[in-house]
Amino acid sequence: MKDLLAKLKDPKAKAAFKSYLRAVLASAVTMGLALAADLAPEQAILIGSLAGPLAKWADKTEKRIRSRH
C-alpha cells in the first residue's frame, strides 16, 4: 500500500492522471452536447475537442512547455 501511495505522489503520475481527467472531461462534454443539445454531431465533436485544451489552459499549475522549433 505504501508503494502505491508513493507512486501516486510522483509528479509524473500526477501529470498523467490530470491528463486522463482532461480527456474524460472532453469526452463528457462531447457526449453531453450530443445527447442533450439540439446540435449536429459534428458541432458537438468540435466543441468537445476544445474542452481538453481549454481545461489544460485554465489549469494554473500546468507547466508551459516551449517548443524549440
Residues 8-56: pLDDT tens digits? 788 888 888 888 888 898 888 888 888 888 888 888 888 888 888 888 8
Sequence-ordered list of residues with C-beta below 8 angstroms from that of 45, at least 6 positions apart, any chain:
30, 34
Q: Kindly give, in sequence order, each residue whose CB lies less than 8 Å from that of residue 49, ignoring residues fewer than 6 positions away.
A: 26, 30
Cell of 64: 508551459
Residue 21 is classified by DSSP as H
- The pLDDT assigned to 18 comes to 85
> Do you know the residue count of the chain?
69
Answer yes or no: is pLDDT of 69 > 70: no
Residue whose C-alpha cell reads 485544451 in the numeric block:
53
C-alpha cell at 2: 505504501
